[in-house]
Amino acid sequence: MIRFIVVLTCCLLVAACSPMRTVKVQPLGSAVDNVALQAGDLRIAGSALASGDLDVALSLYQRITATHPQVVDGWMGLATARYLSGDISQARQAYQAAIDIDPLQLDAHLGLARMDIRQRRLPEAIARYQAMRKQWPDDPLVLAGLGVAHDLSGNHPQAQATYREGLAMHPDDPALRSNLGLSLSLSGKAREAVNVLLDVMGVPASIPQGRQNLALAYGLMGRADAAESILLGDLPQETVQDNLKFYQEVRRRMDTKD
């Protein structure tokens, strides 16, 4: 089941491991009395980051944090650039620097927890998300992340309870609903998962991963035809066939386990 765990991780991390909620592009003329901001460095760095030019973004954010270490957005941008470049250790330091300046910087706390998940430090991730939940009890990203950490720890009932609590407050959140459906599939409740995930298809902000998770649920029910028709909307034929074979194997192993 090793491959299954890898696929599960990839599915869940779509909703829980992006380094920041959004890329912030600082406008010129900020009220902050800061030469770097007035010169547009943050704006240029944010644009470089958004376009994937990590070398330029890193260079600018390093300069901003070196010359104006109290600018939180500089540390947040540097953390994101470090994360995207694979430098997890330095990204952690940058997120922590942002928190040291502003302890209520939610995106920095989320960044640290997401890196814990990426590195499979699940107890640490759960502890971080639980601490965040006390401060931000209704934030959908906090709830989604906590659910993911529970799912990856094998505690599907607790994960599902967390997703449902989030959906009670944010009924149209596609990530919460998609992760709930996937969690139900993984705990042997594929039919219930289909019912949950069908709702995702009708949400305007529906994400491709929601459709992938619905296909998985159908596959685990033995509905290869329904799974295939969904997959063909997003994936090439060869990949679709690989996925269908994988669903069949997972279903066989789950049946054997029962």
CATH code at 158?
A: 1.25.40.10
Domain that holds residue 235: 142-258
The per-residue pLDDT for 254 is 80
Q: How many domains does the chain have?
A: 2
In a domain, 40, yes or no: yes
In a domain, 127, yes or no: no
The per-residue pLDDT for 7 is 56
Q: Residues in the chain with pLDDT < 50?
A: 2, 13-14, 19, 22-33, 36, 38
Residue where one domain finishes, among candidates 119, 134, 161: 119
Same-domain check for residues 164 and 110:
no
The per-residue pLDDT for 241 is 94
The per-residue pLDDT for 199 is 79
The per-residue pLDDT for 140 is 96
Q: Residues 140-196: pLDDT tens digits?
A: 999 999 999 999 999 999 999 999 999 999 998 888 999 999 999 989 999 999 999
The per-residue pLDDT for 25 is 42
Question: Using N-to-C axis directions, what is the helix angle for 174-186 and 208-221, rounded to 10°?
Answer: 20
Claim: this prediction has a pTM higher than 0.95? no
Same-domain check for residues 148 and 57:
no
In a domain, 52, yes or no: yes
In a domain, 7, yes or no: no
